[in-house]
Amino acid sequence: MRFLSFIFILISCLNAQTKVDEKELNEFIRKNFKDYMLFPKAIIKKHYKNIILVDFASAGATTNYRAIIIKDKHFQVGKLEKDGLKMDGVFVVGGGGSGRYYLDVDLNKSYLKIYEYSIYGKREDYCKVEVYKLEKNVFRYNKEMSEIEEKTYCKKILSK
């Protein structure tokens, strides 16, 4: 019985989310993002362990999200890495054209998934998904997972 209790506690610790100090997060945002007009508090869209996806709540049809990592009780902007290039995890999300174009970001466990499509019935139409896995505080592009996710997602989108 003690062994099972130990296992349960160990699993709970491994899956524990880092507590977000909202006051500290607001200060981090004010200092690092001049383009953000802060609401009374930051809008956290998703939270998994030490990763948060913050909605910067821009006006209009789009908004932008920032991937932020909590490390040693401090915040840092999440970096994406694809094909050897690193960039900040900043995303413009939204949709329009009566649902004919769309871009969204989802945080699912330690993965950032970027969904995008444009379907106007023209040669330039597309649908794509990119999956990035958090590894050592950098979200690295995962080609295999992207292809699997894209196949499922785009089949659903293009069949509407």
Domain with 140 in it: 17-158
Rounded distance, CA 102 to CA 15, Å? 32
Instruction: Please indicate, yes or no, if residue 4 is contained in any of the structural domains.
Output: no
Mean pLDDT of 13-41: 73
Instruction: Please indicate, yes or no, if residue 12 is contained in any of the structural domains.
Output: no
pLDDT value of residue 141: 96
Question: Which token pair is 84?
Answer: 């050897």
Instruction: Please indicate, yes or no, if residue 28 is contained in any of the structural domains.
Output: yes
pLDDT at 28 over 80: yes
Instruction: Please indicate, yes or no, if residue 91 is contained in any of the structural domains.
Output: yes
Task: Report the mean per-residue pLDDT for the chain.
Answer: 80
pLDDT at 11 over 50: no
pLDDT value of residue 14: 41
11-20, 23-32, 58-67 — which is least confidently predicted? 11-20
Domain count, the chain: 1
Mean pLDDT of 72-88: 89
Model pTM? 0.78
CB–CB of 29/23 below 8 Å? no
Instruction: Please indicate, yes or no, if residue 50 is contained in any of the structural domains.
Output: yes
Per-residue b or e along 14-38, where b marks 16 or more CB atoms closer than 10 Å to that residue's CB: eeeebebeeeebbebbeeebeebee
pLDDT value of residue 143: 96
pLDDT value of residue 96: 74
Q: What would you report as the CA-atom Rg of the chain, rounded to the nearest whole angstrom?
A: 18
Instruction: Please indicate, yes or no, if residue 23 is contained in any of the structural domains.
Output: yes
CB–CB of 127/117 below 8 Å? yes
CB–CB of 56/33 below 8 Å? yes
- Residues above pLDDT 90, as percent of the chain: 24
Instruction: Please indicate, yes or no, if residue 134 is contained in any of the structural domains.
Output: yes
pLDDT at 100 over 80: no
Instruction: Please indicate, yes or no, if residue 6 is contained in any of the structural domains.
Output: no
